Amino acid sequence: MAAVHRVEVRPRSGHRDVRGESVARQATTLGIPAPREARHASVYLLEGELSAADVERIARELLADPVTQVASVVRAGAPARGPLDAIVEVHPLPGVTDPAAESVEGAVRALFGLDVRVRTGDRYDLAGIDAEAARTLGARALANPVIHGIHLEPWHPTSFPAGHARELRIVEVPLRTLSDAELERLSREAHLFLSLEEMRAIQAEYRRLGREPREIELETLAQTWSEHCVHKTLKSTVRYREANLAPGQRALAGPALSGRPGHEVAPDGTVTIANLLKRTVAAATHELIDPSRPDHVDWCLSVFVDNSGVIAFDDAHAVCFKCETHNRPSAIEPYGGAATGIGGCIRDIMGTGLGAKPIAATDIFCVAPLSGTEVPAGCLPPGRILRQVVAGVRDYGNRMGIPTLNGGVWFDPRYVGNPLVFCGVVGVMPRSMVKGQVHAGDRIVAIGGRTGRDGIHGATFSSAEVEHGTASEFSHAVQIGNAITEKKALDAMLAARDQPDGPLYRGATDCGAGGFSSAVGEMGKDVGAVVHLERAPVKYAGLTPTEVWISEAQERMVLAVPAAKLGRLRAVCDAHGVEFCELGEFGSPDRTIHLLWNGTEVGSLDTHFLHEGVPMPTREAVWDAAWSASQQPAAGDGHGVGPRLLDTCCTLLSHPNLASKAWIIRQYDHEVQGASVVKPLVGVGEGGPSDGAVVHPVPGSPRALAIANGLATGWSADPYAMTLAAIDECVRNLVCVGADPARIAILDNFCWPSCDDPRNMGALVRAAEACLDGALAYRTPFISGKDSLKNQFRTQDGRTIMIPPTLLVSGFGIVEDAARACTMDLKRAGSVLVLVGMTGARMGGSHRAMLGACAHRDMRLPDVDPARGARTAKAVAACIAGGYVLSAHDLSEGGLLPAVAEMCFAGGLGASVDLSRVPVAAGGEVDDECRAFAEDPHRYVLEVDAASLGRVESILDGIAHAVIGHVDDSSALEVVGTSTARERAPIDRLQSAWNAPTGG
């Protein structure tokens, strides 16, 4: 008779209890009562027909380390009290992925030949706090009630919950006769999140078919038509007008855009844009790659159509890049949300063409300030979100063996309810593998993880606005990943791809949002498919056909496999211990997707209606600059400003947006695969922030790849300027580490508050138009993109907190010779500092302005001139490629002085800077504070050997630049201004400021 056996593993006496020791620290960080002492034990519950000797052996030989740990087998009915004052025990809830349990089950089978079911947990014995405080500690620090059960005594169930097979029920959803109000109610109550127009379109389709839809069909339509999958806002027709344009802002309504393809200007100035995405972001790419133009970009291999964008690396290899967000899950369960975010993005790379190998990751997070943020009910505190998100990326990325090489964190109070988690992954593949092709008759093969109820409604959920009650209502949409399952699938896929006679499959895609429904739906778009849903390997019994079809269980890939190669593919999967399932066959006579359950048809979907049927209503967009300005967070009270410029510089270096992220970076393996050439921290003691990463994708080739991001959320008062600034920053970051600006491709990631509000839609139009203008000016094609457009939070008292419009521009570019890559740390006393680019009087959007005390200043955003930015990037890149530059750094957050300060402490060298030499723009008085801290785009600081200065100056001919100082070995930064006295600060002080973020 199967019983549940309980084993506890704890440190042997005299050995450290590192996890126990961390408990008090975590409690103190959260400001909740901390235990005087905490002891940790790992708990294993084993269900199976085991003898006492079996359990002893498993405990001793597998679960405990004989040197440092001791295992004890605990009988059922043992005393519930522990040795200290209280106990908290944490276990994953039933149905939540428990990777450690899966590993133990496999190991027990392999080592002892025994079948067990396992659940793991953590026990904490606590001294100095009572049960109530222990529960608080459990819920807020040690567990997340969304995915964990929290027990105040040892948990020892008599059996584990198990699913039961259910009888097949085909559920029809009568909607042909529903009224509009009833359609809307159905959409809401069934969590379809479809608009009335979309519900009507479905109603019309089923009236045409003369039957009611089945549940599985309706769910598939909801998934496929979700914002997450179909980008229906960005692809809609938009009517854009400007209610209110601030001085200096680019007019886009009226004649400004007439003549732009797809843009129609009405006499009243309103611009109608049919398919915004196609006419802006994609239009730029298609113009750049148009082969009829003599100077066209000829190195884009696949844009927008696949799971990632692909460019040529060299004659034999291609590189691809995808960046995704995982915002909603990360708000509710930050650890699992971030981990499955990066896991999903990795699968996008695996599912590009015939499969690329992931070689680098980048992660950008946007969260509320860690201190001083008022946290509404229903939100997790930002500090916990950030720590857990970092842990999620760490545990998944490190386990997959993918170096996380670049990233950033942006703090703004408006991210409190909707933190943003951007995960980007770069891959490499042979050029011959860039495109797959599904043929009718190919088998549908699923490999990797099993299917459970995980993440059901993830895609529709991510298209909903979050409310204070959402966490509990949607907890089933939140998941925990198992990186090793994905790693095994990756290993098997690459082995199957790299067979001597060619790949064992003809097409590949990942199961992301929508699960099988979107993977098979997408691959079978042109040929149809027949799917036997009962064949899918499941985590537990009792799943309905609909659940199998739409589950978003992680770590699954779908392959299109010629029948003749099925056996060999199965053998490769077996060799890697990867689950393999033939789900059905691509191709059906009527291009329809037929869903079967043990031979009975449970649903059928017309691929044309599925993919083309979604109505695209016209959306109203209004740019209202005054409203946008009113949405900006209040500036500080001037605390930390002055009296001297270098005091302000230290305050800025401690600003959480600028300050060191070493505590995050050090948790990521940025060395795995042995290919990182420029790492995230550079210079003496690796104490400086690199602008970008450089990685060697192809062993033996001198050519390398630079990876960087641009984000200019400080400029969100005008998303047009913000977008150009973000593109410029991304390009500058890439150029500074050695990329060729003629070989840079970029990605867009829009995270926006709800575009049902025409003002947010207006902001989106401005950003999209800037993508077109920016990409054309820099000649940087967008190759892939993503959007998340409902990022706002409704509080219990009815307030809506909208995130600032946020556009992340990720980019990668070719570095001709890795040995010529450049870093930002000063290298040599005696060299000169050249400032490239123009500085103006406008301080809007700068970090200096965020500090406050700017009443007398011009608070408009600085001028952005992408043509000038592109010329500047090209010239700076020529200086670096010529070998004339010892170090290069772009000027972004904080402006000139913080940038020079970073170069100083990263190089362990001093410098003197004369602000009177800074090239300034005409119009308005550019005083020392502007020169020191303005955040004009298109600017760089280059360290140049005095002997090379002539060459550099001739390359920079026609571009504003000046020698503003020199490098010395004084260990101090010295600044003299136009009107301020000479000041000095030791580089240790600057570094200490940078190492100690305030409020972040």
Partner 1 sequence: MATGPRALVITAAGINCDLELAHAFAAAGAVPEAVHLNELVREPSRIDRYRLVGLPGGFSFGDDIAAGRIMGALMRRSVYPALAAAIDRGVPMICPCNGFQIAVQAGLLPGPDLGMPWPAVAAAPTVALAQNSGGSFRDAWTRVEIPADTRCIWTQGIELDDATGLLPSAHGEGRLVADDSLLDRLDANGQVAVRYHPDDHFNGSMRRIAGICDPSGLVFGLMPHPERYTRWTQHPRWTRLSAHQRSGEPLGLRMFRNAVERTLVAS
Does 889 help bind partner 1 (rule: CB under 8 A)?
no
Q: One symbol per residue from 683 to 702: x for binding partner 1 (CB under 8 A), - otherwise; what is it? A: xx-x---------x--x---
Q: How many helices (H) and strands (E) does the chain have?
A: 31, 41
Rounded to 5°, angle at Cα 951 from 949 and 955:
115
User: Closer CB to partner 1, residue 127 or residue 484?
Assistant: 484
Applying CB under 8 A, the span of 500-508, 571-579, 592-600, 766-774 interacting with partner 1 comes to: 571-579
Does 732 help bind partner 1 (rule: CB under 8 A)?
no
Q: Minimum distance from CB of 428 to partner 1 (Å)?
A: 12
Q: List phi, psi (to 5°) of 602.
A: -110, -10
Residue with tokens 């309504």: 253
The residue from 40, 231, 326, 670 that is catalytic is 326
Applying CB under 8 A, the span of 31-39, 189-197, 340-348, 814-822 interacting with partner 1 comes to: 814-822
Retrieve residue 540's tokens. 């537990």
- The amino acid sitting at 945 is D
Chosen residue from 18, 165, 634, 922 binding partner 1 by CB under 8 A: 18
Q: Minimum distance from CB of 846 to partner 1 (Å)?
A: 30
* 476: DSSP letter: G
User: Closer CB to partner 1, residue 104 or residue 493?
Assistant: 104
Q: List phi, psi (to 5°) of 560.
A: -100, 115
Q: One symbol per residue from 384 to 403: x for binding partner 1 (CB under 8 A), - otherwise; what is it? A: ----------x---xxxx--
Applying CB under 8 A, the span of 172-180, 233-241, 367-375, 681-689 interacting with partner 1 comes to: 681-689
Retrieve residue 182's tokens. 């009833």
User: Closer CB to partner 1, residue 185 or residue 666?
Assistant: 666
Retrieve residue 302's tokens. 């696949």
Does 575 help bind partner 1 (rule: CB under 8 A)?
yes
> Among positive and negative, which fits the CA dihedral 895, 897, 902, 903?
positive
Tell me how far apart the alpha carbons of residues 135 and 154 are, in angstroms, rounded to a whole number. Answer: 13
Bridge partners, 793 (sequence order): 466, 801
Bridge partners, 357 (sequence order): 428
Q: Minimum distance from CB of 680 to partner 1 (Å)?
A: 10
Does 673 help bind partner 1 (rule: CB under 8 A)?
yes
Does 576 help bind partner 1 (rule: CB under 8 A)?
yes
Chosen residue from 325, 632, 660, 676 binding partner 1 by CB under 8 A: 676
Q: What are the helix (H) ranges across 576-714?
A: 607-612, 625-630, 645-654, 662-665
Chosen residue from 821, 873, 921, 942 binding partner 1 by CB under 8 A: 821
Q: One symbol per residue from 347 to 386: x for binding partner 1 (CB under 8 A), - otherwise; what is it? A: ----------------------------------------
Largest separation between any pair of C-alpha atoms in the chain: 88
User: Closer CB to partner 1, residue 109 or residue 439?
Assistant: 109
Q: Minimum distance from CB of 891 to partner 1 (Å)?
A: 20
Q: How many CB atoms lie within 10 A of CB 542?
A: 12
Q: How many CB atoms lie within 10 A of CB 52?
A: 10
User: Closer CB to partner 1, residue 62 or residue 742?
Assistant: 62
Total interface residues for partner 1 by CB under 8 A:
68
Q: Restricting to residues 143-172, which ones interact with partner 1 according to CB under 8 A?
A: none
Torsion of CA 233, 238, 241, 243, to 10 degrees: -30
Applying CB under 8 A, the span of 224-232, 477-485, 522-530, 651-659 interacting with partner 1 comes to: 477-485
Tell me how far apart the alpha carbons of residues 767 and 789 are, in angstroms, rounded to a whole number. Answer: 13
Q: Restricting to residues 822-841, which ones interact with partner 1 according to CB under 8 A?
A: 822-823, 825, 827
User: Closer CB to partner 1, residue 19 or residue 539?
Assistant: 19
Q: Minimum distance from CB of 988 to partner 1 (Å)?
A: 17
Q: Minimum distance from CB of 588 to partner 1 (Å)?
A: 37
Does 106 help bind partner 1 (rule: CB under 8 A)?
yes
Rg (CA), the chain: 29
Q: How many CB atoms lie within 10 A of CB 896?
A: 26
User: Closer CB to partner 1, residue 71 or residue 614?
Assistant: 71
Q: Restricting to residues 45-64, which ones interact with partner 1 according to CB under 8 A?
A: 61-63
The residue from 5, 151, 228, 594 that is catalytic is 228
Does 951 help bind partner 1 (rule: CB under 8 A)?
no
Does 750 help bind partner 1 (rule: CB under 8 A)?
no
Retrieve residue 90's tokens. 């944490």
Does 487 help bind partner 1 (rule: CB under 8 A)?
yes
Does 902 help bind partner 1 (rule: CB under 8 A)?
no
User: Closer CB to partner 1, residue 44 or residue 225?
Assistant: 44
Chosen residue from 672, 859, 949, 963 binding partner 1 by CB under 8 A: 672
Q: Minimum distance from CB of 101 to partner 1 (Å)?
A: 8
Contact (CB, 8 A) for 986 and 971: yes
Contact (CB, 8 A) for 240 and 623: yes
Q: Minimum distance from CB of 310 to partner 1 (Å)?
A: 21
Contact (CB, 8 A) for 744 and 309: no
Distances (CA, A) of 877 to 749, 816, 873, 881, 882: 26, 11, 6, 6, 8
Reported as half-sphere exposure (CB side, CA atoms, 13 A), residue 570 has a value of 10
Applying CB under 8 A, the span of 105-113, 254-262, 625-633, 740-748 interacting with partner 1 comes to: 105-113
Chosen residue from 107, 139, 312, 635 binding partner 1 by CB under 8 A: 107
Determine whether 228 is an active site residue: yes
Retrieve residue 566's tokens. 């099925």
Chosen residue from 3, 28, 68, 633 binding partner 1 by CB under 8 A: 68
Retrieve residue 656's tokens. 């959480």
Determine whether 326 is an active site residue: yes
Chosen residue from 363, 510, 547, 669 binding partner 1 by CB under 8 A: 669
Q: List phi, psi (to 5°) of 961.
A: -165, 160
Q: Minimum distance from CB of 404 to partner 1 (Å)?
A: 9
User: Closer CB to partner 1, residue 243 or residue 484?
Assistant: 484
- The amino acid sitting at 810 is S
User: Closer CB to partner 1, residue 597 or residue 668?
Assistant: 668
Chosen residue from 207, 293, 608, 666 binding partner 1 by CB under 8 A: 666
Applying CB under 8 A, the span of 99-107, 597-605, 800-808, 983-991 interacting with partner 1 comes to: 99-107
* 323: DSSP letter: E
Q: Restricting to residues 436-475, which ones interact with partner 1 according to CB under 8 A?
A: none
Residue 831 falls in which region: left (phi positive, over 0), alpha (psi -120 to 50) or beta: beta
Q: What are the helix (H) ranges across 839-995?
A: 847-851, 866-881, 896-907, 928-933, 949-955, 987-995
Torsion of CA 433, 438, 444, 447, to 10 degrees: 20
What DSSP letter does each residue of 358-427 carry, written as one string? EEEEEEEEEE--SSS----TT---HHHHHHHHHHHHHHHHHHHT--EEEEEEEE-GGGSSS-EEEEEEEE
Distant-in-sequence, close-in-space partners of 938: CB < 8 Å, separation ≥ 6 = 728, 732, 837, 838, 864, 865, 868, 869, 872, 873
Does 95 help bind partner 1 (rule: CB under 8 A)?
no
Chosen residue from 527, 665, 745, 967 binding partner 1 by CB under 8 A: 665
Q: Minimum distance from CB of 339 to partner 1 (Å)?
A: 12
Contact (CB, 8 A) for 420 and 807: no
Q: Which residues in 18-33 are b (16+ Cβ under 10 Å) and which e? A: ebbeebbebbeebeeb
* 634: DSSP letter: P
Catalytic positions? 228, 326
Give residues in contact with partner 1 (CB under 8 A): 15-16, 18-19, 21-22, 42, 61-63, 65-68, 99-100, 102-104, 106-107, 110-111, 394, 398-401, 482-484, 487-488, 491, 575-577, 665-679, 681-684, 686, 696, 699, 818-819, 821-823, 825, 827, 887, 907
